[in-house]
Homo-oligomer: A and B are copies of this chain.
Amino acid sequence: MAKKGKTFIISGPSGVGKSTVLSALFQGRNDLYFSVSATTRAPRPGEKHGVDYHFIEPETFRQWIVDGEFLEYAEYVGNFYGTPKKYVDAAMEEGKDVILDIEIQGATQVHNLRPDVVRIFIAPPSWKELERRLTARGTDSPEKVQKRLLRAKVELQTADHYDYFVINDTVDNAVRELRAIMLAEHCRPADRIADLNQ
């Protein structure tokens, strides 16, 4: 029997270390697909079409919206960003699990469309540690750090309807929890009863 992949949404506040966790998750795994967003903004130097983004014309983007080609989309400072269905569906058909790295609002859109997606929020071990990480990046003023911290607290309360909270205390632990969640979600009854009665 050909096993179909599942879709996992991964969200998390600024500074929580989501990208590092995701790189570690993908290490040596070819049964995972990282969903690449489409955007109408121009490529920045070094960005590759199909790798960093699918760079498309505003007209194409609008047509894709009309045709229901997006799992979610949003406008941000004059540019559109969205998750095209087709690559996600193709990967799942190949049996790959799909990772969508999107914000809470996008996650809600996807979940309304496909209630079987699994939503995972990456949380810091403590607020103190998140503040330390934001400060250690050295990119933001103390005021900006406080703003990000407040936003993270609000975000986390908004994410209480997520299926899982993974604590990024260490990257290894976070990846271990993510892998456990993904395996557990492949143990849901519906698929397995169907397989057994084939």
Contact = CB atoms under 8 A, between A and B. Distances in A.
A189 B159 contact: yes
A21 B37 CA distance: 43
A113 interface: no
A193 interface: yes
A164 B192 CA distance: 9
Report the contact-size class of chain A (Cβ under 8 Å from the partner): 20 to 34
A77 interface: no
Interface of A: 120-121, 123-124, 126-127, 156-157, 159-167, 176-177, 179-181, 183-185, 187-190, 192-193, 196
B166 A187 contact: yes
Contact of A180 (B156, B184, B188): B184
Judged by DSSP, the binding face of A is helix
A165 B187 contact: yes
Given A123-B196, A127-B196, A196-B123, A160 B183 contact: no
Contact of A164 (B162, B167, B180, B187): B187
B165 A193 contact: yes
Most buried by B among A162, A163, A165: A165
Given A156-B193, A177-B184, 11 more contacts: A127-B196, A156-B196, A164-B189, A165-B187, A167-B187, A177-B187, A179-B180, A180-B181, A180-B184, A181-B187, A183-B184
17 contacts: A121-B189, A126-B196, A127-B196, A159-B189, A160-B190, A163-B188, A163-B189, A165-B187, A165-B189, A166-B187, A167-B187, A167-B192, A177-B183, A179-B180, A180-B187, A181-B184, A184-B185
